[in-house]
Amino acid sequence: MCGICGFVGPSDISTLKQMTDTIIHRGPDEDGYYSDGQINFGMRRLSIIDVASGQQPVHNEDQSIWTIFNGEIYNYLELRRQLENRGHRFYTDHADTEVLVHLYEEYGEDFLSHLNGMFAIAIWDRQRNQLFLARDRMGVKPLFFAFNNGQLIFGSEIKSILAHPSYVKGLNHRALYHYFTFKNIPAPLTAFQGIHSLLPGQSLFYKSGEEPLFKRYWKIKFAENSQRSEQETKEQIMDILQDAVQQRLVSDVPVGAYLSGGVDSSAVAALMAKHSNGVIKTFCLGYEDDLINKQADMHYAREMSRILGTDHHEYIMSSKEVPDAMEGIIRAFDQPFSGTVSTFFLSKLIRRHVKVALSGDGADELFGSYLAHRLAQPMQNFSLMQSRIADNSLTQGDRALLAPFSDNVPYLQGLFEQSGGDVVKWRNAILTFSENDKENLLSDEFRQSMGNESSTELLGYYFRDTTTKDPLNRILEVDWNSLLPDQVLAFVDSLSMAHSVEVRSPFLDYRLAEFVATIPGRMKIKNGVVKYILKESVRSILPKDIIDRPKEGFVLPVFHWLQKPLKPYAIDILTSSSIQRYGILNEKYVNELMRDFFGGNAALASKMWNIIMFQVWCESYLS
């Protein structure tokens, strides 16, 4: 696991070191450089595989191909054996990085299809004078680039590109506009003009003097198989998940596990314990505040640890830690972000014990858990029931089709009245700031710079790009291509790597993703039970209480804290002078929002958090 960066052009080790210094947290163990007058490669290494001889950059036999790489290739030992049988010779003891140069040598750009792992890869082909960049299928590992005055610059984090002297910082107003709706910047946009994110499953080819060429080598496709039984489905899920866990245990350093007490992390920890030789370390986040749902997390995590016999560790945090951590959190992203940030705090504990931890990330997006997922089937059914709703003649059978909202028909009615049942419109209605909200939130000058930009149109593009008509799978496909890489995986990677911790998630194995894309939505959420088929798949390895408990997860209770202990901090961040300084927000609207929120309207918490995190970013990057 590493942080990588580089640029095309004459040798400039001084600039290269400036860029690598910005990402030392991604690789505190050592650095490495390669520069030949045409390409400049730099990396910081977190040594996990082949600690002694796995230094980067790595080259092939005649040094015509060089690579730097961030991530892990889980099937690298199998690939290495195949390549050795084909005549390739290796000089490292067992580094997964060296497999990449020989795979590229053997298969060209198609080598990516052989990889099972998480990665951001840069390969320099001296014979072709070509730079090749690629990002893993899921988008677990980030990779950013800028094409600036004919020069291509890239890095694992935006801050590396900002450190290059030829890049002149400029704001991307279009990207910032979408942040207030989605809570994150949607890729390939970034908050900075001219800096872009490589998409999941995308590669980039660049030769000096030419425009970059892009290729999408993988993208999830949904094709439901309605003939497969639940039993067959459960068995296949368990087979793939078990193998995915085993592959992610390969390491030359100890491996731990997140354990929240929920189904996802508990299933991973249970399979990990089954296939590990010794006692595994598990980690859970708790809170000093008297939050009942979070007390339940702690209880079930402890119970699961007792059953598995793990060496369990807890990080108990309070609201007092948040103000001091805010700048560090934002600097981990380099962009505005108002999603979950709890990983930042738990990673401080994990780093004291292990370098690597397995997690349950990705299960919600595969099997359905979030509000939009729970609404997908009920909203479609509700739209078809309009005549009976108008006559007030819903039957028990009708109400069953609205689960888990059978007892909250007014909520569905309200969404239907806002959207007319259109999935893009009701999905947009449950996001943070609507287009109308942003008319009031943003300054006149900023809005004028937007022209006809629309977050609703962007959401509509995601839906038009789907490959299925299944109501739940359609929502899942949209989230898989947007929310998962742009928000969920972004916070897992950025906030764990801020503390030099590598996170591996078996649920993000592409084989599991491709299989789950064939499962009909009715098996994923059944009779209102979220992740139904996953829960049934893991009943043989988890206690009933764990499987059937309500989901809580690692969610920082900042919404609860904002109205009470964090109120002074929020007021201090959102002063009139600080808002006016950047000319992006409408001071009057922000003050009205604060007054309503602190007056008792807790429903505004997500909007408050969104604005606060934006203002922290402005103070950190625009001052």
Residue 489 backbone dihedrals phi, psi, to 5 degrees: -70, -30
Q: What is the pLDDT of residues 51-96, one digit of tens each?
A: 877 899 999 999 999 999 999 999 999 999 999 999 999 999 989 9
DSSP state of 63: S
CA 195 to the chain's CA centroid: 19
Q: Can you spell out the DSSP letters for 96-142?
A: HHHHHHHHHHHHGGGGGGG--EEEEEEEEETTTTEEEEEE-SS--S-
Span 291-314, average pLDDT: 88
The Cα–Cα gap between 602 and 605 comes to 6
Contact 442, 611 (CB under 8 A): no
For residue 188, cis peptide bond before it (omega within 30 degrees of 0): yes
In sign, the C-alpha dihedral spanning 563, 486, 33, 356 is positive
To the nearest 10°, the Cα dihedral for 622, 194, 201, 4? -70
pLDDT value at 333 more than 80? yes
The Cα–Cα gap between 284 and 258 comes to 6
Check residue 510 and give its pLDDT: 98
Check residue 290 and give its pLDDT: 60
Residue whose C-alpha is closest to residue 160's, from 101, 120, 208: 120
Every domain of the chain and the residues it spans:
2-216, 230-316+350-367+484-548
Q: What is the pLDDT of residues 382-394, one digit of tens each?
A: 999 988 887 888 8
Q: What is the pLDDT of residues 559-593, one digit of tens each?
A: 889 999 999 999 999 999 999 999 999 999 999 99
Contact 11, 40 (CB under 8 A): yes
Length of the chain: 623
618 is catalytic: no
Q: Could you tell me the CATH superfamily of domain 2-216?
A: Aminohydrolase, N-terminal nucleophile (Ntn) domain (3.60.20.10)
Q: What is the pTM of this model?
A: 0.96
CATH code matching the domain that covers 230-316+350-367+484-548, chosen among 3.60.15.10, 3.20.20.80, 3.40.50.700, 3.40.50.620: 3.40.50.620
Residue whose C-alpha is closest to residue 218's, from 513, 459, 475: 513
Instruction: Give Rg (Cα) of the chain.
Output: 24
Question: How sure is the predictor about 288, in pLDDT bands with cuts at 50, 70 and 90?
Answer: confident
The Cα–Cα gap between 276 and 255 comes to 10
Question: How sure is the predictor about 48, in pLDDT bands with cuts at 50, 70 and 90?
Answer: confident
SS3 291: coil
The Cα–Cα gap between 196 and 187 comes to 7
Residue whose C-alpha is closest to residue 175's, from 158, 161, 196: 196
Q: Which residues of 273-307 are buried (b: 16+ CB within 10 A; e: fewer)?
A: beebeeebbbbbbbbeeeeeebeebbebbbebbee
pLDDT value at 1 more than 70? no
Percent of the chain with pLDDT over 90: 89
392 contacts: CB under 8 Å, gap ≥ 6: none
The Cα–Cα gap between 369 and 472 comes to 10
Q: What is the pLDDT of residues 443-500, one digit of tens each?
A: 999 999 998 999 999 999 999 999 999 999 999 999 999 999 999 999 999 999 999 9
The Cα–Cα gap between 358 and 534 comes to 18
The Cα–Cα gap between 587 and 578 comes to 9
Strands 311-317 and 2-8, bridge-based pairing: unpaired
391 contacts: CB under 8 Å, gap ≥ 6: none
Residue whose C-alpha is closest to residue 347's, from 11, 26, 589, 21: 26
Q: What is the pLDDT of residues 341-366, one digit of tens each?
A: 999 999 999 999 999 999 999 999 99
The Cα–Cα gap between 151 and 428 comes to 38
Q: Which residues of 370-388 are buried (b: 16+ CB within 10 A; e: fewer)?
A: bebbbbbbbbbbbbebeee
Check residue 558 and give its pLDDT: 86
Lowest mean pLDDT among 49-53, 373-377, 504-508, 521-525: 49-53
Bridge partners for 8 per DSSP: 39
What the block records as the tokens of 63 is: 């040094």
What the block records as the tokens of 76 is: 């690298």
Question: How sure is the predictor about 296, in pLDDT bands with cuts at 50, 70 and 90?
Answer: confident
Residue whose C-alpha is closest to residue 367's, from 537, 553, 549: 537
Contact 360, 268 (CB under 8 A): yes
Check residue 553 and give its pLDDT: 46
* 243, containing H or E segment: helix 230-247
Question: How sure is the predictor about 208, in pLDDT bands with cuts at 50, 70 and 90?
Answer: confident
pLDDT value at 231 more than 60? yes
Check residue 241 and give its pLDDT: 98
In sign, the C-alpha dihedral spanning 353, 356, 358, 361 is positive
Residue 394 backbone dihedrals phi, psi, to 5 degrees: -65, 135
Check residue 332 and give its pLDDT: 97
Hey, what long-range contacts does 478-482 have (CB within 8 A, 24 or more apart)? Answer: 478/427, 479/365, 479/370, 479/372, 479/373, 480/220, 480/365, 480/366, 480/513, 481/200, 481/219, 481/220, 482/182, 482/186
Contact 320, 291 (CB under 8 A): no
Q: What is the pLDDT of residues 238-279, one digit of tens each?
A: 999 999 999 999 998 999 999 999 999 999 999 999 999 899
Which residue out of 2, 5, 284, 618 is catalytically annotated? Answer: 2
Check residue 391 and give its pLDDT: 81
* 569, containing H or E segment: helix 567-573
Bridge partners for 32 per DSSP: 43
Averaged pLDDT score across all residues of the chain:
95
Q: Which residues of 452-484 are buried (b: 16+ CB within 10 A; e: fewer)?
A: ebbbbebbbebeeebebebbbbbbbbbbbbbbb
The Cα–Cα gap between 479 and 580 comes to 35
